Amino acid sequence: MVLHKHVKSKILPKNRQHTDASKENQSLHSLAYSSRYATTDVPKTEIPQKPAGSTTAYQLIHDELDLDGTPAMNCASFVHTWMEPEADKLMMENISKNMSDQDEYPATMRIHGRCISMIGNMWNAENAIGTATTGSSEAIMLGGLALKKRWQARQKKAGKDTYHPNIIMGNNAQVALEKFARFFDVEARLIPVSDESHYALDIKKAVEACDENTIGIFVILGSTYTGHFEDVKGLSDLLDAYQEKTGIDIPIHVDAASGGFVAPFAFPNLVWDFKIPRVSSINTSGHKYGLCYAGIGWILWKSEEYLPKELIFELHYLGGTEYSYTINFSRPACFMIGQYYNFLRLGVEGFTNVANNDLINAREFAKGLEDSGYFDVVSDLHRPKGVFGWKEKSGISKAKEVVSKAGVIDYNPHLPVVSFKLTDEYKKNCPHVKQGAISTLIRTKGWIVPNYPLPPDADSIEILRVVVRESLSKDMLTLLLEDIVEATKRLANVENAVESFYLTSNIHVGIGKDAEIPSNNNTYSRPC
């Protein structure tokens, strides 16, 4: 949740006898545009003294929210923005149900149990236990806490230090992983990424950072920067060798926030889940490639053994005995119900079709960027399995030459995410063009495409990133590609850096020699 500072309202005058009579006599109408708010400010810092009509309140808020970006054109976010009308209806029918009221809503709890079983089977679990969360951030906290408590129990039994835990992750980790370490007093050992590690976790360096105080390793199935899947199986093999040498057992938690609903369907032969004995827990976001609206995440542990009992709360005051392990207590049940709707509606075949369609569209988009001659694609989703790096041009063409025995092109396991940058040749020919200006210029057409640096140690490289979701069709991607190429050409024709900045900053003030140049264009965005 974003933090906001309190804004103190203006001090009211002590003498109200001289209040503007015209405002005093304004009546409160049911129509927004003829209400008192048509000529006065909408309350922003204090609750108003008098009520407004329902249509007035609705229309005023509705109009202001129209200033937001268009969700369908938001290529920055992994969060799903569209569901079928039947799913919307079902969720609205259940919007008032509280997931924490287990005794009051037994049918809802049965559906929750079914979802846990379905996800567990999807991830090849045998005796998994798990819970719905408000998203992957909460799930990461729960998974990390379980790792910490199990480590403390092991250390205490051996009579060793229990106060200096550490956890290992790549420095490409999403902020939620670092939040866990900071919030719960765990040293975060961030492993530098590089071109050799595909800007994701370097599994050899990760093992080198381990010691007896390591509670586990976070492995990301789908980096937010580039979409690469980190090598869970390869890391597990290295940790097996480490344990044989040192006797130290290091568990793996897989952060499959995005990849948890992509890998099982698009890459069914990839070994990454509970098939690997060392994987103790996995989290995912239902509101990403689980195709739900924001508000639903999941975490599963391999078995009850991996979820310390001291973390589970037994509650008696809501009408029955309930068991809970969540950070949030009250939370909406409707998004979990929406997840179950998707399971029934789509089935394995539907989820497979959606995941493959997303990847097909993303690969074609990547190829279009490369074909333009302006961009290098940092992501490797369109390259044959084992082929990495933007120096490998025409990934799809090469992939067609490397066909598996089944006659199917074998691509790198990857999210449908395309991260790209300007070519060195373009930057040499057009040194005045800032890559972030492309993001700003296409924003004038409604597209939201962030530009930001790669993780530390690789942050000299800036990337633009497009997340391909179900609602981003091939036609829309074609239009986006055209707008990106047009913007890039337009910027190349700008004679100097000042004009480039001036051109892409005047979204609202117009363009002309006498136009005022804003002092800040807020181009850069952090990955989400």
- Estimate to the nearest angstrom the gap between the alpha carbon of 128 and the chain centroid: 25
In this model, does residue 465 exceed pLDDT 90? Answer: yes
Rounded to the nearest 10°, the torsion over CA 487, 492, 494, 496 is 130
Distances (CA, A) of 512 to 440, 445, 495, 507: 18, 19, 15, 12
Residue 517 is given by DSSP the state P
Which residue shows structure tokens 């492309």? 438
Average pLDDT value for residue range 156-172: 97
User: What separation in angstroms does the CA of 413 have from each of 22, 82, 195, 202?
Assistant: 67, 25, 17, 17
pLDDT value, residue 295: 97
Q: Cβ(140)–Cβ(180) under 8 Å? A: yes
Tell me the mean pLDDT in the region 365-379: 97
Would you state the pLDDT for residue 24? 46
User: Mean pLDDT throughout 272-283?
Assistant: 98
Q: Provide mean pLDDT across the span 78-107.
A: 94
Q: What's the CATH fold of domain 87-340?
A: Aspartate Aminotransferase; domain 2 (3.40.640)
* CA 331 – CA 139 distance, rounded (Å): 14
Q: Identify the band that residue 380 occupies on the pLDDT scale cut at 50, 70 and 90.
A: very high
Query: Residue 281, SS3?
Result: strand
Assess whether pLDDT exceeds 90 at residue 316.
no
State mean pLDDT over 43-47: 92
Output the pLDDT for position 249: 98
Residue 108 makes CB contacts below 8 A (sequence gap 6+) with 94, 97, 99, 333, 336, 337
320 against 471, higher pLDDT? 471
Q: For residue 134, give both structure tokens.
A: 């408000």
- In CATH terms, the fold of domain 358-491 is Aspartate Aminotransferase, domain 1 (3.90.1150)
Confidence category of residue 519, pLDDT binned at 50, 70, 90: very low
Average pLDDT over residues 146-164: 97
- pTM passes above 0.85: yes
Length of the chain: 528
| pLDDT for residue 454 is more than 70 | yes
Q: Residue 155: its pLDDT value, please? A: 97
Name the residue type at position 154.
R
Question: 308: closest CA among 327, 322, 329, 325?
Answer: 325
353 neighbors 369 (Cβ within 8 angstroms): no
Identify the pLDDT of residue 324.
85
Q: In the prediction, which pLDDT does 233 show?
A: 98
**Average pLDDT of 321-344?**
92
pLDDT, tens only, 396-431? 566 666 665 566 789 999 999 999 999 999 999 999
When mean pLDDT is compared across 33-37, 177-181, 229-233, 353-357, the lowest value belongs to 33-37
Please tell me what DSSP assigns to residue 352: H
Residue-range domain boundaries for the chain: 87-340, 358-491
Q: DSSP secondary structure string, 373-407? A: TSEEE---TTSBTT--STTS--HHHHHHHSB-TTS
Highest mean pLDDT of the ranges 33-37, 170-174, 318-322: 170-174
- Phi, psi dihedral angles at 366 (to 5 degrees): -60, -45
Closest CA to 522 of 433, 430, 437, 419: 437
Q: What is the mean pLDDT of the segment spanning 93-112? A: 93
> What is the structure's pLDDT at 135?
96
Model pLDDT for residues 236-252, shown as the tens digit of each residue: 999 999 999 999 999 99
pLDDT exceeds cutoff 90 at 185: yes
Contacts for 338 with CB less than 8 Å, ≥ 6 apart: 83, 87, 90, 91, 286, 292, 293, 296
From CA 267, how far away is CA 271, in angstroms rounded?
9
pLDDT at residue number 409 = 80
Looking at every residue in the chain, the average pLDDT score rounds to 89
Q: How far apart, in whole angstroms, are the C-alpha atoms of residue 452 and residue 454? A: 7
Express as a percent the part of the chain with pLDDT over 70.
Answer: 84
470: left (phi over 0), alpha (psi -120 to 50) or beta: alpha
